[in-house]
Structure 1
Amino acid sequence: MENFAVIDLGSNSVRMTISRISNDGTYDTVAEEKQYVRLSENMGAEKILQPDAIERTIEALKGFKEIYSKLDHLTIRAVATAAVRQATNQKQFLKRVKSDIGIDLEVISGTREAYYDYVGVSETLPATNGVIIDTGGASAEIILVQNGKVSNLISIPIGSVTLSSKFDLADEVSATEVFKAMIFVNKIFQSVWWLRNGLNLPIIGLGGSNRTLAKINRRFNNLLNTNDIHGYQLRDDSINETFEKIISMNREERKKVPGINKERADIIVGGLIPVILLMNYLDSDRIMFSTSGLREGILFERLHDIIQTNIKKKEQS
């Protein structure tokens, strides 16, 4: 038996999932934790992690440590994504995490992040042909899946925090700034040569901003278990209508919308622009939502390794 903790330090939040893995490769979820830390806040053009953001992150990790340190047979896999990946003071931050928390934080590449997203989705949802988009705080990962396999994948520096900051979308938004943001993102999509191969394919959305779309819709339709969105689908007209309403509101008004976390009210406009434009760019008429992504992809990789090790042991005995 092994307690396997996966820590995912993103640009907007840090999350932890602890799974108890049996010797036969089956598992149960022991704990799930999330803290909003806004690690990418005010990084600026110099891409420097700011002291306040670092302190928030360290405090969140200390809280996680209080939970996993009580477990035996513990294995920790801690990864950091776009904010730390881009940071010019990355080394100093990693040393701080090591000294204060005692864990080695692994900075994974954008393509590795995208691959783990694919694994997490493909192991839990039908994803034979489609385009996966994971919109985070400082980046978006896009994966083209054809015939059940990864055809192409990419990580691009457009996220909910970065777009909202760059185009002043945190509070009341002007038509000019929304237009500038959309042109900016659309040009990036046009530069990805293989993306048009996903024309008319369904889109699978993950990441906090995309999941918020599903939560808003489920609340609006009074569906039970509003947070149970794994596999939930929406048509493009519903998504466009929701976006139209959100951009007409200021930050305080967005906080009152059922389904929007108050911590996300100032970055939700920037967070929704990539998926809105991707659906339009690929002429896709529907989206399916996934709650499985990076952390689940790492877990499934671990399960596969355990199963393969057990097979080898049996062959050698």
Structure 2
Amino acid sequence: MMENFAVIDLGSNSVRMTISKVGGDGTYQTMTQMKEYVRLSENMGVEKILQPDAIERTIKALREFKEVYSKLDNLKIKAVATAAVRQAANQKQFLKKVKSEIGIDLNVISGSQEAYYDYVGVSETLPATNGVIIDTGGASAEIILVQNGKVSNLISIPIGSVTLSSKFDLSNEVSAAELFKAVIFVNKIYSNVWWLRNGLNLPIIGLGGSNRTLAKINRRFNNLLDTDDIHGYQLRNSDVNDTFQRIISKNLEERKEVPGISKDRADIIVGGLIPVILLMNFLDSDRITFSTSGLREGILFERLHEIIKENVKDMSEEELL
């Protein structure tokens, strides 16, 4: 019997939903994809408190998602929340509000779970035998070192597009001093991740909204058709650095006009690209491959494996009867 499997991923910047029709043999077809920019981590401050406006925007988006999935039969929902909710001092109250107003249990996953799902989503859809995966979100970045087709190390670091942009005032005019501070800050974090140097010279796989934007800017710049078709798209490190240089020389209004940057992301794109730019330099990596497959797809593949296992078990029980 076909199952409608909905994955909701509540990040710090956006909330996304993918609904797939899943067959008993582990095949699937993506039916619906929705995304809303909710900026949940906006103005959380050092107290790490989710703000009323951000909460309302999030509830509104979840309500719109519900209108879509509530029409489906044989529905299974897996809803996860990442860095913003993970760090929030008022996490319990927020989860309660979502439960009472929307009726879903939001599962707050750890940074390492998030990183692992990213790995599953990437490795099922791209050749990733040896490489370093980076998923830059709104409030965190997940980094996964893959060696010989297996995860050898992973980490979630609280450096994201929203957090870095606000900490170093990078949303409008980018001052040399603030950019320098941001670079020193992120490089220091990288230096403290002892295993990261094992990724020296390995190719990088980038996912998350900021990294996807980097790919889109380059596809538009090179007049490639179908800007959004970036899964497996590659860029040399020189192209990546040139793009970053073009972006940091612009103010907010000018960045909004750059083809490939959505207006909702123009104020956080500088902070959002710092982690990948510095990682490529830190590891002296010569290229980056982009993936549109990550956390949500990782959760979907996990479900597909479960279904296949259940069916194998049912078949072997039938044989016993």
Q: Gaps spanning 5+ residues in structure 2: where? A: none
Deviation of 1:111 after TM superposition, in Å, equals 0.1
5 Å-filtered alignment, 1:26-37, equals: 26-37=27-38
Q: Deviations over 1:105-148 (max 9, x none)?
A: 00000000000000000000000000000000000000000000
2:242 equivalent in structure 1: 241
Q: Deviations over 1:55-86 (max 9, x none)?
A: 00000000000000000000000000000000
5 Å-filtered alignment, 1:92-103, equals: 92-103=93-104
For residues 42 and 275 of structure 2, what CA distance do their matches in structure 1 show? Answer: 19
Q: Match of 1:262, SS?
A: coil
2:133 equivalent in structure 1: 132
Q: Match of 2:264, SS?
A: helix
For residues 94 and 161 of structure 1, what CA distance do their matches in structure 2 show? Answer: 22
For residues 253 and 298 of structure 1, what CA distance do their matches in structure 2 show? Answer: 37
Number of residue pairs the alignment of both structures matches? 317
Q: Match of 1:298, SS?
A: helix
For residues 27 and 284 of structure 1, what CA distance do their matches in structure 2 show? Answer: 35
For residues 15 and 108 of structure 2, what CA distance do their matches in structure 1 show? Answer: 14
1:18 equivalent in structure 2: 19
2:160 equivalent in structure 1: 159
AA in 2 matched with 1:117:
D
Deviation of 1:304 after TM superposition, in Å, equals 0.1
5 Å-filtered alignment, 1:151-230, equals: 151-230=152-231
1:118 equivalent in structure 2: 119
For residues 174 and 116 of structure 1, what CA distance do their matches in structure 2 show? Answer: 36
Deviation of 1:25 after TM superposition, in Å, equals 1.1
For residues 66 and 316 of structure 1, what CA distance do their matches in structure 2 show? Answer: 39
For residues 299 and 33 of structure 2, what CA distance do their matches in structure 1 show? Answer: 15
AA in 2 matched with 1:278:
L
Deviation of 1:23 after TM superposition, in Å, equals 1.4
AA in 2 matched with 1:131:
V
CA-based RMSD of the aligned residues comes to: 0.3
For residues 301 and 23 of structure 1, what CA distance do their matches in structure 2 show? Answer: 14
1:306 and 2:307 aligned? yes
Q: Match of 1:263, SS?
A: coil
For residues 293 and 31 of structure 2, what CA distance do their matches in structure 1 show? Answer: 16
Deviation of 1:32 after TM superposition, in Å, equals 0.1
Q: Gaps spanning 5+ residues in structure 1: where? A: none
Deviation of 1:22 after TM superposition, in Å, equals 1.0
For residues 152 and 251 of structure 1, what CA distance do their matches in structure 2 show? Answer: 37
For residues 184 and 195 of structure 1, what CA distance do their matches in structure 2 show? Answer: 16
For residues 207 and 23 of structure 1, what CA distance do their matches in structure 2 show? Answer: 30
Q: Match of 2:261, SS?
A: coil
For residues 277 and 24 of structure 1, what CA distance do their matches in structure 2 show? Answer: 43
TM-score (structure 2 length as normaliser): 0.98
Q: Match of 1:228, SS?
A: coil
1:295 equivalent in structure 2: 296
2:60 equivalent in structure 1: 59
Q: Match of 1:150, SS?
A: strand
Deviation of 1:168 after TM superposition, in Å, equals 0.2
Which deviates further from its counterpart, 63-72 or 307-316? 307-316
Runs ≥4 in structure 1, deviation > 3 angstroms?
none
2:276 equivalent in structure 1: 275
For residues 48 and 25 of structure 2, what CA distance do their matches in structure 1 show? Answer: 44
